[in-house]
Amino acid sequence: MSRIVDGVRSLGDKLWFAAVLRRLVWFDRWAREVTMGRFSPVGDVVLPTLLIVTTGSRTGRRRSQPLAYVSDGDDYVVVGSNWGQQHHPAWSGNLLANPDACVVLDGTAVEVRAHLVTGDERRALWSRFEEVWPAFRTYEQRAAGREIRMFRLAPRMTTNNVEE
């Protein structure tokens, strides 16, 4: 199995590979939505992935997107690499406009609040992303000066208001 994982990771920084996978994201999104994050045709063996559900900044509609993530305590950390394209992905703009979102992972939906990560914290977390998917180094170069947005998704505490 590790040979397959290593093989896929070696393809991660190839432009054609990113272009192909970018066009197949819809299928991964659909499978994760239908199974509440329990199944992905792409699989989480190579790259841990969650499904984020944001609110569209212009439409107000719920939008979902599979994203690579790293855990940091109880938080999830995601990056808007957009496969190294020179523009930010739409979901990252949605989070800037409305930081309340939902993470779907392994059959569980968790309400989260997003915080843009910057500075030293971003640098430390970025190195963790490069460990999991070395192609992030290439995506950063391809982004041509665009700082790839990084978000910390902290689970929101829900309170039940009980009327006495």
* Residues, the chain: 164
- Residues 47-73: pLDDT tens digits? 788 999 999 999 999 998 988 899 999
Domains and CATH numbers, the chain: 2-155 (2.30.110.10)
Other Cβ atoms closer than 10 A to 19: 11
Among 27-36, 64-73, 75-84, 89-98, where is mean pLDDT lowest? 27-36
What pairs with residue 54 in β-bridges?
63
